[in-house]
Structure 1
Amino acid sequence: MSSSMEPEMSYQQRLVVDLCFEESEYEAAIDMLVQLTSPRHRPTKLHIRQLLYIALFSPTDRHARIDPLASPSKRERKLGELPSAAASLAARNLLMAFAETNTPAAVLLALRPGDVDSPEEAESSLATESLCISRAKNCWQILAKGFLLNQQQQQFASVKGKGKVLSAGSFGDLHDTASPVGETAWPILEWLISIFERDEVATNATLRHSPLLLEQLGTASRRDSDAALAICHYSFAQSDPRRRALGIRLLNLLINLSSATDLDFPLIVVSIFNGLSESTSAEDIASLLAGLHPSSAVSKFKIALYQKYFNDTASNTTTNRKPIAARPRPQARAAQPKGSPAKARQSTSTSSASPSSLANKYRAPTSGDILRLLMETQASPRNKYDLLVAYNEYQALAPASERDPEWLEVARNGTVLDKAFGCKAQGAATMDPSEGEGVVYRDLLAGTLSVY
């Protein structure tokens, strides 16, 4: 994450925009912000928060705010105070323009966890209603279907009750929501992913990762990637290829983060593995993994995922595969005496160490482990091929200290090909039983390994 941000726009510039928002002239306010967009100064946190509210505003939100018992004139006046579909579209486009123009940290100020704006600072109905964006415990919560409507209903209930405005975190976890991404939230998900990707590039670190994304996954003592992973799974299930691509991009960010920080790498592997249904084909798995950007972290993830997939195939003979139990939800750690081993470990993990010192210590299997796995499983030739390609990529991209010195020999002398697809020299009787498919993937792999 960049250590410095561009200065905020001037008071005079902000005042002009605020006046438009206060008069419910949302499109005029957005047009003014479009003209003011510049890498030399950033938009205010309030303006980003209001733009997010307008961008997420749906026809359902609009309908729910109109009292059917009100007079026609009151209903008409209320409609004029609500964001229109055109204003929502303009807000989404402007948010993306800010993401492409300003620094990632500057654009994401309105969604920093724990940084809640004061209600006293709100000077308009939009500023007041958009406070729910600031109160969200993380950026994933605002994406959930019905987020704005739920906030409005809860705030109305609190006014009728004790007059207390509840925090966004008190309305239930995202994990309990049927749809972790609402229809109007897909552009905002793309906006967030773009910011995290730009933050990866801007971060000066040995291992590529986004500190801004890490902030959205809890604290060092309570990391929680469940909400982000739920969005990945929900995206993978979409028929729209653009939405599926967003899930792959988010998964790529999480993989990079797990290789550079204290984020739990095995948990990510288990979550993605558990999301694979019994009907998932070899092509489906390959298509999912093919969208990830090549890197040592991604190769390591592919290896770990295929390990679990192959082990599951070998150990289960029934059609109903039981998912591997995921890690329990994070709990607060009990206080430890000063100087105790647990306290020392926690202190080490939460200190401001370099990313490389925080990297997960998961090590890829040896070439011997891979060969044994191939011999013990009845997985498809396609999956065997993809595992071996991923392992070969990892051996080429990984630091020298993590490479297996035996891989080069078994890759060149044909041992890998024979163990995975059968011995071609001894005829078809020893080849993979999947007709000619095994021969095809053997030849493809032979071509890949020949240039290693």
Structure 2
Amino acid sequence: MNQYIQPNDGTRQDATTSMESEMSHHQRNLVDLCFEEGEYDAGIELLSQLKSSTHRPSKSHIRQLLYIALLSSSDREARVDPSASPSKRQRKLVELPSLAASRAAQMLLMSFVSINNPRGLMLALQPGDVDSDEEPEGFLATESLCISCCKHCWQILVDGFLLDQHIISSKGKGRMHSTLSFNDPTKTPSPVGETAWPILEWFVSIFERDQQTSTNNPSYSPLLLEQLGTPSRRDSDAALATCHYCFAQADPQRRLLGVRLLNLLLNLASATDLDFPLIVLSIFNGLSGKSPEDIASLLASLKPSPAVFKFKIAFYQKYFNDATSTSRPTARPRPQARAQQKGTQALTREASQLVNKYRAPSSGDLLRLMQTPTTAPDDDALRIKFDLLVSYHEFQTQASPAERDAEWSEVVRNGTLLDETFGCRANINGVGLLYRDMLETILSVN
């Protein structure tokens, strides 16, 4: 049973009331017929012609599109009997969705995000009534049921997800089982397979649209929260592993997907029971081997918001706390689940009442941190100090009155901040003077 992907009555009311009805039975049958006969390109084209803002595609069609989109060359080969004759092998390969069909399915899935309700699209990941008599027959309909058996959406993205799938249907019990056996049991599969990148973008786009249409204040994506465990047992490990894997990519578009996902997680942590310190620790440890320039570049890609500014402050705080004591950590400890309140209370409480809510340091604490000697190289320390103070200033200008530090404006006005951080102008030169001048401009200090 899918224990994670469950509706939450405390956060879904506005999304549900605006959800479109499903496509008509006649339209669905037309698409089913194409897929059942192996006419995958025709079925995808028909779905594209039928898409509308007034009705959404069926759950089974979204599942089947996801399956086609994820299908790789290795997946196709794995579904062909190696002992079969060359002609039978070729015939079997022809019966499977082509690479062109996979690309078309990826594009069609993305087109649904802009016109259909995000919650309606995510219904495909719920077990629901996948064994009902109305479910279509055929290879694709049966194979794609593995999509509904996943604990969370991150499992679908894992490299090799479609390899060696074994689906068992218990008609009488109305339950589906999925047994995953990846090729090499001694090797941990990558969080995102090569064909899963478009699907990760699809999920991220859905969560972003869900956040945009949410009436929660501060805004966040309830759909993303449903992929991170239950109120009694939150689990962001898989989502954070996906972020780290994105950050490690050479392709800037893939790195940007990680940034977009981290943005969503930070907004969640600022408004719900998601563990904010755990996110900070995970990202900090994951970036510990990178240069300050690389870190600053990645963090600069985050969309500005009070939640993001607080994250940057906490991140840089940890950098200095570690640099003034012991060497920086290189391994990420496995987070332990924390006990949370049952039901939806943790989701509906005011953000200011959250137990794990992070409070930014005071101006005095920040000044003391700037004065503390560090073990980091001078240029690195200056860069991090600059980024920390810029983030703190941005937070102070955008935070609610209750979260602002009353002394900050005076610290900025009298020049104490610049002197304590970089030294008096007459006594410094080089990089230190450059950072002081840039910060002075940002703070509008004359």
The two structures have a TM-score, normalised by structure 2, of: 0.88
Match of 2:50 among 27, 30, 36: 36
Deviation for aligned residue 1:180: 0.4
| Change beyond 3 A, Cα 1:310–1:66 | same
Q: Distance in 1 between matches of 2:438 and 2:48?
A: 51
Q: Distance in 2 between matches of 1:177 and 1:358?
A: 39
Question: Is the 1:38–1:101 Cα contact (8 Å) retained in structure 2?
Answer: yes
Question: Is the 1:207–1:355 Cα contact (8 Å) retained in structure 2?
Answer: no
Where does residue 282 of structure 1 map in the other structure?
292
Where does residue 394 of structure 1 map in the other structure?
395
| Change beyond 3 A, Cα 1:97–1:394 | same
Match of 1:117 among 126, 130, 134: 130
Where does residue 329 of structure 1 map in the other structure?
336
- Which amino acid in structure 1 is aligned with residue 436 of structure 2? R
Where does residue 97 of structure 2 map in the other structure?
83
Matching of residue 196 in structure 1 with residue 207 in structure 2: yes
Question: Is the 2:75–2:163 Cα contact (8 Å) retained in structure 1?
Answer: yes
Deviation for aligned residue 1:381: 1.6
Q: Could you list the per-position Cα deviations for residues 358-391 of structure 1 after superposition, in whole angstroms to 9, with x for gaps in the alignment?
A: 6442111101111111111435222111100100
Where does residue 308 of structure 2 map in the other structure?
298
Match of 2:444 among 435, 447, 450: 450
- Percent identity over the alignment is 60
Where does residue 211 of structure 1 map in the other structure?
222
Q: Distance in 1 between matches of 2:335 and 2:391?
A: 30
Q: Distance in 1 between matches of 2:45 and 2:343?
A: 49
Unaligned runs of 5+ in 2: 1-11, 375-379
1:47-446 equivalence runs, <5 A: 47-112=61-126, 115=128, 117-118=130-131, 121-150=135-164, 152=165, 154-155=166-167, 166-167=177-178, 177-278=188-289, 280-316=290-326, 321-323=328-330, 326=333, 328-330=335-337, 346-347=341-342, 350=345, 353-354=348-349, 356=351, 359=354, 360-378=356-374, 379-424=380-425, 427-428=426-427, 431=428, 436-446=430-440
Question: Is the 1:137–1:168 Cα contact (8 Å) retained in structure 2?
Answer: no
| Change beyond 3 A, Cα 1:18–1:447 | same
Question: Is the 1:104–1:198 Cα contact (8 Å) retained in structure 2?
Answer: yes
Deviation for aligned residue 1:7: 0.6
Question: Is the 2:234–2:337 Cα contact (8 Å) retained in structure 1?
Answer: yes
Where does residue 22 of structure 2 map in the other structure?
8
| Change beyond 3 A, Cα 1:147–1:61 | same
| Change beyond 3 A, Cα 1:358–1:184 | farther
Deviation for aligned residue 1:66: 1.3
Unaligned runs of 5+ in 1: 334-344
- Which amino acid in structure 1 is aligned with residue 341 of structure 2? Q
- Which amino acid in structure 2 is aligned with residue 364 of structure 1? A
Bigger shift: residues 139-148 or 122-131: 122-131
The two structures have a TM-score, normalised by structure 1, of: 0.87
Question: Is the 2:32–2:136 Cα contact (8 Å) retained in structure 1?
Answer: no
Where does residue 7 of structure 2 map in the other structure?
none
Where does residue 6 of structure 2 map in the other structure?
none
Q: Distance in 2 between matches of 1:18 and 1:373?
A: 64
Q: Distance in 1 between matches of 2:98 and 2:309?
A: 45
Question: Is the 1:371–1:416 Cα contact (8 Å) retained in structure 2?
Answer: yes
Q: Distance in 2 between matches of 1:257 and 1:169?
A: 30
Deviation for aligned residue 1:119: 7.6
| Change beyond 3 A, Cα 1:124–1:351 | same
| Change beyond 3 A, Cα 1:238–1:185 | same
What secondary structure does 1:369 align onto? helix
| Change beyond 3 A, Cα 1:117–1:169 | farther
**CA RMSD between the two structures:** 2.7
Q: Distance in 1 between matches of 2:304 and 2:202?
A: 23
What secondary structure does 1:380 align onto? helix
**More helix by percentage:** 1
Q: Distance in 1 between matches of 2:238 and 2:203?
A: 14
Question: Is the 2:231–2:346 Cα contact (8 Å) retained in structure 1?
Answer: no
- Which amino acid in structure 2 is aligned with residue 353 of structure 1? T
